[in-house]
Amino acid sequence: MLPADKLYYKKYPLKGLLEKYVKYAWVMKSQEEQSGQDLLIPDGYPEIIFVRKGKYQKAFLDPKKKPQIIRQSCIVGIQDQTVLASRMDQCDLVGLKLNPIGAYALFGSQLKNISSCNSHIEDFGMDWLSQLNQHMQHCTEEISMINLLTDQLSVRLKEADKNNKITLAAAYLKMILSVDGTITVKELADKHFLSLRQYQRNFKTFFGISPKIFLNIIRFKQLYKSSILEQKLPKNFLEYGYYDQMHFIKDFQKRMGINPSKSSEIAFILKNEIARTSR
C-alpha cells in the first residue's frame, strides 16, 4: 500500500521491434483522494491510457475550453496545448506513450479522429483494442500488464515493419527529431523531393497534425527540457526558431500561462513533477 501522499510513477521501455513504435509504457498509482495539478506539456507523442481505477481532470489554459473529466480508458492524439491534469480520487493508470509512427501503424487513417483530443477506447470500434482494455482491467501484477502490452502490440506491429508508408513516415519523423524541430516545412519538403503541398498532405495523413504545428511542439519541448526542467531560465531561444526574446516570451506565455521569469517559483516547479519524470 502506498502512503496517502505518495505518487508512484514508473516507466518501462519496451524492447525489440517495439522500440521503433513505442517510446515507453508507464504505470501510475496514487492513494490521494485529490491531487494538485500536473503540467502535461505537448511533446509530440500520442498515448493510450488504460484507466483501471479512479478518474482525473484535464483543464486547459484556454478559458474557452471546458475541463474534461476522464473516467474511461482512452486514446490521446498529439496534443498541441498544455494541459493541467489533476487526479480526482485514488487512481490506477497504465499508459503507452507511442512514437508518432507507432500511432500511424496502429490506427492509420483514423488518426484524424483522435488528434489533440481524448477518444474513449470502447467508442473507437477496434475489437483488439477493446479486448486489450478488458484484459488490462483484470491484471493484478504490474509485470503482467507490461507483458500483456508487449505481446499484443508485437502481434499488431509485426506486419507494419514491411509497410512502405510506415518507412516513409519514419523518415519524415527522423529528419525532424535529428534537428530538434529547428527546420522549416519548406526545407523538409525540399529534402524529401516533394512539393510543399504534397509534403503537408502526407504529413497530416501520417500523424494527424500539420507539420508546422508539430515542428513548434518539438522545438518548444526541447527548449523546455533543457532549461525550465533544469530550473534555469532559457538563454538559447534563438537556436529554437525564435526571432528575439520578446517572441519567446509571448510564445511561452501562450503555451504555459505565465511569464518565463515566473517559472522558478516553487508552485510552478511542483507542477512539473510528471514532466521531469517522464522526459
How many whole angstroms separate alpha carbon 118 and alpha carbon 140? Answer: 26
Mean pLDDT, to the nearest integer, of 209-228?
Answer: 89
Provide the pairing of β-strand 22-30 with 91-98.
Answer: antiparallel
C-alpha cell at 73: 480508458
Hey, which residues does 25 pair with through a beta bridge?
12, 96
Q: How many CB atoms lie within 10 A of CB 229?
A: 16
What are residue 68's phi and psi, to 5 degrees? -115, 135
Domain 7-159 has CATH 1.10.12.10: no
Domain ranges of the chain: 7-159, 164-274
41 three-class SS: coil
274 compared with 220, residue with greater pLDDT: 220
- Sequence-distant (≥ 6) Cβ neighbours of residue 7 within 8 angstroms: 28, 29, 30, 32, 35, 273
Domain 164-274 has CATH 3.40.50.720: no
Residue type, 200: Q
44 compared with 109, residue with greater pLDDT: 44
pLDDT, residue 211, reads: 95
CA 222-224-229 angle, to 5 degrees, is 120
Mean pLDDT, to the nearest integer, of 100-105?
Answer: 92
Residue 198 has pLDDT above 60, yes or no: yes
216 three-class SS: helix
- Sequence-distant (≥ 6) Cβ neighbours of residue 124 within 8 angstroms: 75, 110, 114, 130
Task: Tell me if domain 7-159 and domain 164-274 are identical in fold.
Answer: no
Residue 185 has pLDDT above 90, yes or no: yes
Residue 4 has pLDDT above 50, yes or no: no
Three-state helix/strand/coil letters over 51-107: EEECCEEEEECCCCCCCEEECCCEEECCCCCCEEEEECCCEEEEEEEECHHHHHHHH
How many whole angstroms separate alpha carbon 59 and alpha carbon 263? Answer: 19
How many whole angstroms separate alpha carbon 199 and alpha carbon 237? Answer: 27
pLDDT, residue 10, reads: 92
Mean pLDDT, to the nearest integer, of 141-166?
Answer: 90
Hey, which residues does 12 pair with through a beta bridge?
25
pLDDT band at 12 (very low <50, low <70, confident <90, very high): very high
Closest CA to 256 of 44, 78, 42, 79: 42
Q: Indicate yes or no: pTM above 0.85.
A: yes
pLDDT, residue 137, reads: 94
179 three-class SS: coil
Residue 230 has pLDDT above 70, yes or no: yes
pLDDT, residue 2, reads: 43
How many whole angstroms separate alpha carbon 11 and alpha carbon 21? Answer: 16
Mean pLDDT, to the nearest integer, of 218-231?
Answer: 85
pLDDT, residue 115, reads: 64
Q: What's the number of CA atoms in the CB half-sphere (13 Å) around residue 35?
A: 29
Residue 64 has pLDDT above 50, yes or no: yes
pLDDT band at 3 (very low <50, low <70, confident <90, very high): very low
pLDDT band at 116 (very low <50, low <70, confident <90, very high): low
How many whole angstroms separate alpha carbon 140 and alpha carbon 156? Answer: 24
**CB contact at 8 A, 227 and 238:** no
